[in-house]
Amino acid sequence: MRPTERSNAVDGSSGADADADTAAAASGSVPVTVCDGDSVVELGVAPGTILRDALLESGLSPYTRVTRRANCGGRGLCATCGVRISVGAPSAEHWHDRLADRFGYPRLSCQIRVTEPMTVELVEKVVWGGRER
């Protein structure tokens, strides 16, 4: 999985978005748009990949300086890999996902399988220190 585009445009209105979607579909990957502040990165992710793993492999960590070393390793126990999914969020099947949806909390990236195109926002975390960009 490789970042296919870097841009400072947050609105996603560039023609390159359609090109990235077309290229991703042709390669058998799922397009995932990752927003990190003013930066937008397009990824092509293999279907069924855990979102946390896709982010880490692409160098886009959902963790802070501290939680990068102090986390549960993707088992859904520590809630340090939270992201917001603005487009293409999978249905909330587990109780913690239903609560996250109900109260507007971030979803755990370690519990989301990428099966359809989605837009993901890396959230700023204040409890365990800010994320490094």
Write the pLDDT tens digit of every residue in 56-107.
Answer: 999 999 998 888 888 999 998 888 999 999 999 888 888 878 888 889 889 9
Helix or strand (DSSP H, E) at 96: helix 95-103
pLDDT tens profile 30-49: 999 999 989 999 999 999 99
Q: How far is CA 52 from CA 8, 23, 78, 113, 114, in A?
A: 23, 22, 13, 9, 10
pLDDT for residue 46:
97
Q: Domain with 59 in it: what CATH number?
A: 3.10.20.30
133 belongs to a structural domain: no
* Residue positions counted in the chain: 133
Range picked from 1-15, 37-51, 119-133 for highest mean pLDDT = 37-51
User: How many structural domains are present in the chain?
Assistant: 1
For residue 12, name the pLDDT band (cuts at 50, 70, 90).
very low
Q: Let me know if residue 128 belongs to a domain.
A: no
Its domain, for residue 45, covers: 3-122
